Each structure stands twice: as C-alpha cells, then as structure tokens.
C-alpha cells in the first residue's frame, strides 16, 4: 500500500505560531496556516531544511515580547541562522513560501494581514538573495503544510475556512 501526501516514516514535528524548526536529520515539519505565512528553507546538497510560522510582518520589540519568531524579520533571521548552524551553506539555500490567506470575511483584500505578510516575506527573501522556487499564497483557504526536510519537498492540503 502506498503513502498519502504528507505521510512519511521520518520523524514528525509540528510547529505553531511563532515557532521554527530546522534539522539535518530527515524530518517532516507540519504546520496549519490561515493568514500566517510559513517559509521552508533548504539546502538540497546538504539535505538540511527548516520551517517557521510567522504571524506578523516587521520586527518584535524584544523589550516587550518574548516570542520574537512571531514577527517576520525575527522569524526569518532565526530560521536562516538555524539552518546554517545545522550545516547549510547560505549560497545554496532555497525557499518555498505558503499561507497568507484572507480568512476574515469582509476584510478588504489589500488591508488583510495575510497579504501584507506575504509581501513582506517575498521582499525579505529577495533582499537576502534567497531564491523562492515555489509559493502558494493568498486565497481564502486554510493550509496544512508538510515539509520533508531531506528532499525539500512540500505537500499542501487546502480546506475552506
């Protein structure tokens, strides 16, 4: 019998808002997204990958908040540093980006947090010189994201909000 999308014999780790995880070992990292955005970074040659789950664009005021990975700049810096600490080479890191849905009925699309967060992440990765090789952003769907760190494969399962 075959395996369904997202299934694997690899270790499984679930991350929530404001969390990130990176590994040199084969792991399936899972998260559930609405308006939040998850970035999957990986070095295909070294088989190292990681994912974050970002709530808001910008930078956390670390004097007031202890969950700095909830905020875009902090979450991206933490994830990049973590995959590099596991042995990834900066020049080989690629990105896949997911989420940013408009899940609040009646919200004007251009004011929606998901849209702003998606724009922030794309701009950040471009400025950092990290190529985005895949993305699934926007819409109204809640997304279950499964990232297989060993191969850099991502499976997305969408559901209506």
Annotated catalytic sites, by residue? 36
Distance from the Cα of residue 17 to its chain's centroid:
10
Contact between 132 and 152 under an 8 Å Cβ cutoff? The reply is no
Going from the C-alpha of 75 to that of each of 1, 2, 54, 121, 160, the distances in angstroms are 39, 35, 7, 10, 27
Residue 61, both tokens:
């005021």
């Amino acid at each position: 019998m075959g395996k369904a999308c997202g299934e694997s014999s690899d270790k499984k780790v679930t991350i929530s808002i404001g969390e990130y995880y990176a590994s040199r070992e084969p792991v399936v990292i899972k998260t559930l997204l609405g308006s939040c955005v998850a970035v999957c970074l990986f070095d295909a040659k070294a088989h190292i990958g990681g994912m974050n789950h970002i709530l808001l664009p910008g930078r956390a005021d670390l004097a007031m908040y202890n969950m700095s990975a909830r905020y875009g700049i902090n979450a991206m810096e933490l994830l990049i540093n973590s995959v590099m600490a596991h042995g990834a080479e900066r020049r080989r890191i690629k990105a896949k980006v997911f989420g940013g849905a408009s899940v609040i009925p009646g919200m004007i699309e251009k004011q929606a947090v998901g849209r702003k967060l998606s724009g922030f992440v794309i701009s950040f990765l471009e400025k950092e010189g990290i190529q985005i090789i895949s993305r699934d952003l926007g819409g109204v769907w809640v997304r279950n994201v499964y990232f297989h760190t060993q191969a850099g494969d991502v499976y997305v399962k969408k559901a209506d909000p």
